[in-house]
A and B are shown apart, each in its own frame.
Chain A
Amino acid sequence: DTEVTQTPKHLVMGMTNKKSLKCEQHMGHRAMYWYKQKAKKPPELMFVYSYEKLSINESVPSRFSPECPNSSLLNLHLHALQPEDSALYLCASSREADRMYEKLFFGSGTQLSVL
């Protein structure tokens, strides 16, 4: 199993809603990532979890709250988002977070629209 599974695939939410994005991998990877990607732009790193602990937060606004319940699961809790937060949210994983041989495996993403 070399898949990273993200749900939902599409999400529309209002600015007062609370929603969560979910990501799961069963490759035994110990590093998991959230990226945000706007149309025709490269992915931007948001968070990195290494061994279930938050290791990198790229100064992301607090309306985005990550959670890593266990080594296979990664959530991104959303609250009071702005229309400019509309984007493709990508989850990724790798065996380790800071080793030179690491290959990134991406999920298919959640297309988020904030109205």
Chain B
Amino acid sequence: EIVLTQSSGTLSLSPGERATLSCRASQSVSSSSLAWYQQKPGQAPRLLIYATSSRATGIPDRFSGSGSGTDFTLTISRLEPEDFAVYYCQHQDTFGGGTKVEIK
């Protein structure tokens, strides 16, 4: 069973800053199978990125994904007020524990 670790539990950043979120898999995974989601309080998760780097429909280009093997990254180039949320990575039937991006 693959375990996904999102080591940065909480990131405290300011609007306009760059956010770099990490997701580490316990063993190498296919790049076609790594996705990222954003979840705001009281809402369902929203798909941001699939297949490591493909943006989902309607997702702004300030969101980008990269990585391979066991290490994957979600980057938000410049944080907008609406980007402060919890972010989850996912591979097949497994989700990471989430990273909260909060306003500093």
Does A pair with B? no
